[in-house]
Structure 1
Amino acid sequence: MLDTPDYAPKLLEAIGELGAAAPATLAGFQALDGAAARSGKLDARTREPIALAVDVTTRCDGCIALHSAAAARAVASREEVAQALPVAIALNAGAALVYSARALDAFGQQSG
């Protein structure tokens, strides 16, 4: 498993370097990400476990690291995260099962 609290800052630093080289790309991503967060219908405590389930289906370790931290900050419970992950498992079968274990492990590292 990844050491998520150690990985996330390194990832953000690397993304910052990419952003310096391709600022319009990073700005476009940040606009899209911000728009999703501003929907107003789902709070972060609901949205972040959903995001973790999506992260599992896309097999994005960086996304898992960042969204597990966001879910912990939003005070999502382990049970809430665990209840969102079966959607990914159902949609992605075996690969999602492996990444769900990784996402739950990452969340555990973030929330203590």
Structure 2
Amino acid sequence: MNATKPHSRKTDLTVTHVLAELLERLERSKVPVGAEQYRSVVQHLASELGDVEPGTALGALLDSHPAAAELYENVNYQYAGLCRSALDASLAAERQAKEILDRAMSRTLNRSIPPHKEDPTHGKS
């Protein structure tokens, strides 16, 4: 019978940090980036993020690398949802979108209802 040993997680984040830096550079690049290069970096970083030990060191790395943090959330969405997204920012964005949609709807309704004009002959025979 084959016994499987438990998966031990990495505590050294050197490779993860280098890949996170590279992803940030690709995200901010003014020069077009090849799809294969981008995909390769994302796949390698996703693999590394799956192997590292969760904790303060990983949290600090993700705090300083927004693209890696977004990838981390996407990879772990089934377990924790958007665990790293700031709830206040998300709620504020949702409220702002609702207000904009409400204003747009009221403008549309106001334009579709013609203004009431007084009938000059109203009440006169």
Instruction: Calculate the TM-score normalised by the size of structure 1.
Output: 0.28
Structure with greater proportional helix content: 1
Compare relative contact order (CA 8 Å, sep 6+) and give the higher one, 1 or 2: 1
